[in-house]
Amino acid sequence: MENEVKVVFITGASTGIGLETARYFFARKWHVIATMRHPEKRKTPLHDLGLPDLVHLDVLDRSSIQSALKYTLDKYQKIDVLVNNAGYALFGPFEATNHEQIMREFNTNVFGLMEVTRQILPQFRKQKNGVIVNVASMAGRIAMPLYSLYVSSKWAIEGFSESLQYELKPLNIRVKIIEPGLIKTDFYERSLDKADNGALSEDYAGVLKSSGKMTGNSAASLGSEPEVIARVIYQAATDNSKRLRYFAGKNAKMGSTMRRLLPEGMFYSMMEKMTLG
């Protein structure tokens, strides 16, 4: 049984962290269920790799989650690791957001993640083992201007995962949180929505200019490659430890350490200077 090929189920695998995670597990001879919203329409490097299990899943569609899990269990009879990676970010003044954007942020990042987890738990209980890897962010520990909804969704993932670990531990199901720092992906173009309200543009012009410029430049110059995050996800999935949180990327640990050690007022002042100039 020790040599049995293991199965990983990944959401949001079309690009970025999800794609690199699928590639990393596949290179290590795992069965990889790489799920995405439109595998039949969007050609990815995973198609070129010959990865056989590119499966439709939209975390906003419960029936697609059920179908993807059924496909996996019909084919492999088990799932060893779930990687909840699908995500969406909204940038802009909170006042400028609309109801649909608010709902999409939490439906994708929080409720979608919860639904995938909820649907997979019966199988993990049946197996008497399993690992749930939730991709959060350093934004789940450190708030930034103009990302109030994205940050709050990641803080929700942190709290959900930390609570969940206690109730699942007696069932031999482990929960892991991945906390990436800045990453060099197309996330800021592909998955970043913008709250835009022309009537507010003048009042928020200063913070929009400063924070928007800082975010894009920092991701390009300071961010880690997504395969760095994939390696940490693999470590969390396979180290057989009780560890909950994993920093991922070169600036993640530094940010968390400063948050923990600096007096609150000093930390806020530092963040304001870093993000707003």
What three-state secondary structure class fits 44? coil
Domain borders along the chain are 7-252
Q: What is the pLDDT of residue 160?
A: 98
Q: What is the pLDDT of residue 54?
A: 96
Q: What is the pLDDT of residue 207?
A: 83
Residues 6+ apart with CB under 8 A from 217: none
Q: What is the pLDDT of residue 1?
A: 47
Query: Residue 47: how many CB atoms within 10 A of its CB?
Result: 12
DSSP strand E in 51-158: where? Answer: 54-56, 81-84, 89-91, 130-135
Are 173 and 125 spatial neighbours (Cβ–Cβ below 8 Å)? yes
Are 239 and 176 spatial neighbours (Cβ–Cβ below 8 Å)? no
Residues 6+ apart with CB under 8 A from 19: 13, 34, 44, 45, 46, 226
Instruction: Please give the order of strands across the beta sheet that includes 31-36.
Output: 54-56, 31-36, 7-10, 81-84, 130-135, 173-180, 245-248
Burial class (CB in 10 A: 0-12, 13-18, 19+), 246: buried
Q: Return the active site residues.
A: 150
3-state helix, strand, coil in the chain (%, to 5): 55, 15, 30
Q: From the centroid of its chain, how far is CA 40?
A: 23
Query: What's 7-252's CATH class?
Result: alpha beta
Q: From the centroid of its chain, how far is CA 48?
A: 24
pTM for this prediction: 0.91
Residues 6+ apart with CB under 8 A from 177: 134, 136, 140, 157, 158, 161, 162, 244, 245, 246
Weakly modelled stretches of the chain, pLDDT under 70: 1-3, 42, 185-191, 197, 212-222, 277
Q: What is the pLDDT of residue 219?
A: 54
